């Protein structure tokens, strides 16, 4: 059994594989799960001493916290894409 089948089985047990708006519901579930794990684990590429790092494209010239190219919301979008589109 591969990862996609495991994801399908998981979302099927939650009732998110069929019905109106199933893709949107899976995307919301994936984004919330990714956001929860990111704020719980606080990886150094997205956090600096407990603060969320700013996005490097919008950080300005002298940001207080070192910027990052991959922010918290990038990971949340990836989680939403994987669970809503690929599964």
pTM of the model as a whole: 0.81
DSSP reduced 3-state for 87: coil
Of 21, 32, 45, the residue nearest 79 (C-alpha): 32
pLDDT at 71: 85
pLDDT at 75: 92
pLDDT in tens, the chain (87 residues): 688 888 889 998 988 888 899 999 999 999 999 999 998 998 888 888 888 888 888 877 888 888 888 888 899 999 999 999 988
CB contact at 8 A, 80 and 34: yes
Helix spans in 1-87 (H): 3-13, 22-41, 72-81
Q: What are phi and psi of 66, to 5 degrees?
A: -55, 130
Residues 6+ apart with CB under 8 A from 48: 65, 66
């Amino acid at each position: 059994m591969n990862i996609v089948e495991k994801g399908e089985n998981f979302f099927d047990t939650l009732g998110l594989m069929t019905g109106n708006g199933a893709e949107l519901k899976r995307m919301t579930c994936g984004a919330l799960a990714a956001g929860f794990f990111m704020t719980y684990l606080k990886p150094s590429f997205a956090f600096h001493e407990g603060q969320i790092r700013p996005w490097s494209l919008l950080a300005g010239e002298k940001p207080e916290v070192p910027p990052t190219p991959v922010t918290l919301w990038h990971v949340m979008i990836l989680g939403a894409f994987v669970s809503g589109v690929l599964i």
